[in-house]
Amino acid sequence: MAEETESKQSTVESMMEKISEKIHGHDSSSSSDSDSDHEKSTSPSSVKAKIYRLFGRERSVHHVLGGGKPADMFLWRNKKISAGILGGATAIWVLFELIEYHLLTLLCHISILALALLFLWSNIHTFIHKTPPHIPKVNLPEEPFFQIASALTIQLNQALKLLRDIASGRNPKNFLIVVAAFWFLSIVGSWCNFLTLFYISFVLLHTVPVLYEKYEDKVDPFAERAMMEIKKQYAVFDTKVLSKIPKGPLKAKKV
């Protein structure tokens, strides 16, 4: 009997040890899981995902601008090229807007000057002991023009489709945005002509993206608060006005 009771006690003790080991193992695993979950929740990637970015973008400003050389130009990756292009655009604007030089007149004068220099150089090179000018043969490839025309056609078709959807009354929000944009452009157009407007847009493309990329951590919180306020005001306007407007054309009842 004593041996049986001792064996029973030993089996009970072993069972208790196993149960305690399982409990401790579960606690340690749960604590490790909670710690890992806490680390994941406080990891930089999760914090970075919660940061608001303007226009809901998830990519960098360089990728938003299309990447490649155009984005490098707008973000001043090569300061000489960006400064040269902006300086050339400024010179063109000064010629046409301030000096009031006409485009056709400028092209004709440049052509006359270039042809006169090449013609004189080709005829008097034997007298001045210089080699005649090498005039390269220029053949414009057709494929880039087809690609540009195809891209413009796609964009125009999308714009026409958007305008059709807005005119059909299906999206009051887009209707208000487009009307506000046209109204703003009409006001700006009354202040300046198309060339000045194009030059202002060109200068803004060379200044706003690079400034935003430099100060995006300060601009994005302010933009988030502004967008929240705009959405709040739009919700009020939608409740009081837009919700009462019938959407889409009235459909005739089927007999």
pLDDT per position as a tens digit, 117-143? 888 888 887 677 677 777 777 787 888
The mean pLDDT of 85-103, rounded to a whole number, is 87
Give the span between the Cα atoms of 111 and 118, in whole angstroms: 11
Q: Model confidence over 204-232: pLDDT tens digits?
A: 988 888 888 888 888 888 888 888 888 88
**168 neighbors 247 (Cβ within 8 angstroms):** no
Domain ranges of the chain: 139-170
- Distance (Å) of CA 245 to CA 121, 172, 177: 74, 9, 17
pLDDT at residue 18, as a whole number? 60
pLDDT at residue 122, as a whole number? 80
**65 neighbors 204 (Cβ within 8 angstroms):** no
pLDDT at residue 90, as a whole number? 92
Give me the residue label for tokens 């601009």. Answer: 219
Which tokens is 27 given? 């606690």
Of residues 66 and 152, more confidence is placed in: 152
Summary mean pLDDT of the chain: 75
**63 neighbors 75 (Cβ within 8 angstroms):** no
Q: Model confidence over 236-255: pLDDT tens digits?
A: 887 877 777 666 554 444 44
Predicted model pTM: 0.53
Give the span between the Cα atoms of 67 and 75, in whole angstroms: 10
